[in-house]
Amino acid sequence: MRIHKVAVLAGDGIGKEVMPEGIRAVEAAARRFGIGIEWASFDWPSCDYYQAHGKMMPDDWKEQLAGFDALFFGAVGWPETVPDHISLWGSLLKFRRQFDQYINLRPVRLLPGVPCPLANKQPGDIDMVIVRENTEGEYSSVGGRMFEGTEREFVLQEAVFTRTGVDRALKFAFELAQKRPKKHLTSATKSNGISISMPYWDERVEAIGADYPEVRHDKYHIDILAARFVLSPERFDVVVASNLFGDILSDLGPACAGTIGIAPSANLNPERGFPSLFEPVHGSAPDIYGKNIANPIAMIWCGAMMLDFLGHREAHDAIVAAVERCLVDGPRTPDLGGTADTTAVGQAIAAMI
Ligand code: NAD
Ligand code: IPM
Ligand code: MN
């Protein structure tokens, strides 16, 4: 039996509360399907580590993590003690860039048993996958601040779109759309207002789309796309977007489908030259941390995506089926109108696996 080595990076806030439930679910599936997992836990990256060491991670973080098959990540951020741009650029965003995790895959589904905030939507009406470009675009960190503190002060931050970066994200999205029954791709754009990078993005959509004649594709400006997510989410299948647009859509989509507490994501290096990272879409939720009421389903679903990426589709399906069952007749956390705690939901799902 091949043993998969997984690094556990729980991070901050509710990352620490949902992580044990993610591990519990993966362990249950591993037992059922005879999969070997070797876990290694790290107390970094985290804002506690920052307070003790003045940095989010040790300098040799890359060497320490590069040999793992996957990174299982909770959430990072504790703005009370460390500014968010420091904690995130000192951790998650470094992983994405230096491990070249250029795809951020974020499935969004309205599942039976989940109250939908939109009128007249049935389970199945929302079933999309957001493919977010994950290493460049608006998150490129190119720019600076000049003449600080003077009247002439200015800040400049560039968005960088490389042909390699855009094309590989689009190709991934078209490939995915080709495999799904609806074979439909929507590209998020804003080429009316953002007059250089977005027309370029559109141009690459046409160029890459030409290789996928079976996939119907269309483009929406991000503003009306956001409105359509709320008004008619059933029209979307694969949605591909730049880093920032993808970030926004991947909170909006899950909110339309009931709660961000169940939304998973996979930060993929599809070539597998570096470990991929699996993390909930949500953050460290300081407002609910310490009460053990966070919904662990996003973390658990991430465990399913991780097992899928490691080659265990059947284990993925078993975890997702247990999540679906739990949402219908199992305990639920307060974000879904229930009174159960994080541990109870995690235990129920593990038992169903
Ligand atoms: P958040 O996702 O942490 O919380 C937003 C809201 O959703 C809060 O009201 C929270 O209670 C609720 N929520 C989130 N996850 C939940 C869950 N599992 N169950 C129930 N309710 C849940 O976003 P935020 O408040 O903007 O950010 C808080 C901190 O997390 C910041 O430091 C931010 O930078 C960081 N953050 C980290 C990540 C990450 O590590 N991937 C992602 C987003 C935000
Ligand atoms: C996410 C988060 C991150 C992002 C933050 C914490 C930097 O919101 O994973 O969606 O913007 O990518
Ligand atoms: Mn986000």
Place of tokens 């560039």: 158
Ligand approaching nearest to the C-alpha of 87: 1
Q: What angle in degrees, to the nearest 10, is found between the helix axes of 15-33 and 342-352? A: 10
Domain membership of residue 309 (yes or no) is yes
Residue whose CB lies within 8 A of the most ligand 1 atoms, among 281, 282, 289, 333, for a mutation test: 282
Residue 73 Cα distances to 20, 174, 209, 276, 349, angstroms: 11, 27, 33, 10, 19
Indicate if 23 and 138 belong to the same structural domain: no
- Going from the Cα of 284 to the center of ligand 1, the distance in angstroms, rounded, reads 5
Torsion sign over Cα 108, 111, 116, 119: positive
Ligand approaching nearest to the C-alpha of 293: 1
pLDDT at 174: 99
Residues 265-274: what's their mean pLDDT?
A: 98
Indicate if 127 and 250 belong to the same structural domain: yes
- Going from the Cα of 27 to the center of ligand 2, the distance in angstroms, rounded, reads 27
pLDDT at 16: 98
Residue whose CB lies within 8 A of the most ligand 2 atoms, among 85, 86, 92, for a mutation test: 92
pLDDT at 167: 98
Indicate if 239 and 324 belong to the same structural domain: no
107: preceding bond cis by omega (within 30 degrees): no
Domain membership of residue 106 (yes or no) is no
Indicate if 238 and 272 belong to the same structural domain: no
pTM: 0.98
pLDDT at 6: 98
Are 44 and 7 in contact by the 8 Å Cβ rule? The answer is no
Residues 303-331: what's their mean pLDDT?
A: 98
pLDDT at 175: 98
Indicate if 87 and 183 belong to the same structural domain: no
Indicate if 171 and 230 belong to the same structural domain: yes
Does residue 146 surpass a pLDDT of 80? Answer: yes
Average pLDDT, the chain: 98
Torsion sign over Cα 116, 119, 124, 126: negative
Residue 48 Cα distances to 10, 125, 342, angstroms: 12, 42, 22
Domain membership of residue 111 (yes or no) is no
Indicate if 41 and 24 belong to the same structural domain: yes
Domain membership of residue 55 (yes or no) is yes
Helices (H), the chain: 15-33, 47-53, 61-66, 84-89, 92-98, 163-179, 197-209, 222-231, 243-256, 297-309, 313-329, 342-352
pLDDT at 127: 98
Q: Pick the last residue of a domain from 227, 257, 287.
A: 257
- Going from the Cα of 13 to the center of ligand 1, the distance in angstroms, rounded, reads 9
Residues 147-154: what's their mean pLDDT?
A: 97
Domain membership of residue 328 (yes or no) is yes
Indicate if 250 and 338 belong to the same structural domain: no
Place of tokens 């003045």: 54
Q: Which of 214, 134, 210 is nearest to 166 (CA)?
A: 134
> What residue type is 307 in one-letter code?
L
Task: Work out the percent of the chain whose per-residue pLDDT is above 90.
Answer: 99
- Going from the Cα of 247 to the center of ligand 2, the distance in angstroms, rounded, reads 6
Query: What is the span of the domain harbouring residue 142?
Result: 116-257
Structure tokens at 1: 């039996």
Indicate if 268 and 253 belong to the same structural domain: no
Q: H or E segment at 36?
A: strand 36-42
Residue nearest to atom 4 of ligand 2 (CA): 247
Look at strands 264-268 and 70-75 and give their pairing: unpaired
Give the span between the Cα atoms of 55 and 228, in whole angstroms. Answer: 41
Domain membership of residue 107 (yes or no) is no
Tell me which residues have their CB closer than 6 angstroms to ligand 1: 14, 75-77, 79, 84, 88, 92, 260-261, 279, 282-288, 294-295, 298, 335
Residue 327 Cα distances to 84, 127, 164, 215, 258, angstroms: 32, 16, 40, 33, 11
Domain membership of residue 349 (yes or no) is yes
Per-residue pLDDT tens digits for 212-264: 999 999 999 999 999 999 999 999 999 999 999 999 999 999 999 999 999 99
Per-residue pLDDT tens digits for 98-139: 999 999 999 999 999 999 999 999 999 999 999 999 999 999
Residue nearest to atom 27 of ligand 1 (CA): 283
DSSP per-residue letters across 180-204? STT-EEEEEE-TTTSTTHHHHHHHH
Indicate if 316 and 204 belong to the same structural domain: no
Indicate if 249 and 149 belong to the same structural domain: yes
- Going from the Cα of 126 to the center of ligand 1, the distance in angstroms, rounded, reads 22
Does residue 279 surpass a pLDDT of 80? Answer: yes
Indicate if 16 and 39 belong to the same structural domain: yes
Look at strands 36-42 and 3-11 and give their pairing: parallel
Counted domains in the chain:
2
Q: How confident is the model at residue 2 (pLDDT cuts 50, 70, 90)?
A: confident
Q: What share of the chain is helix, strand, coil (3-state, %, to 5)?
A: 40, 20, 35
Does residue 1 surpass a pLDDT of 80? Answer: no
Q: How confident is the model at residue 198 (pLDDT cuts 50, 70, 90)?
A: very high
Per-residue pLDDT tens digits for 151-183: 999 999 999 999 999 999 999 999 999 999 999
- Going from the Cα of 261 to the center of ligand 1, the distance in angstroms, rounded, reads 9
Q: Pick the last residue of a domain from 229, 257, 285.
A: 257
Q: Pick the last residue of a domain from 233, 257, 281.
A: 257
Q: What is the domain-level CATH number for residue 90?
A: 3.40.718.10
Q: How confident is the model at residue 326 (pLDDT cuts 50, 70, 90)?
A: very high
Domain membership of residue 108 (yes or no) is no
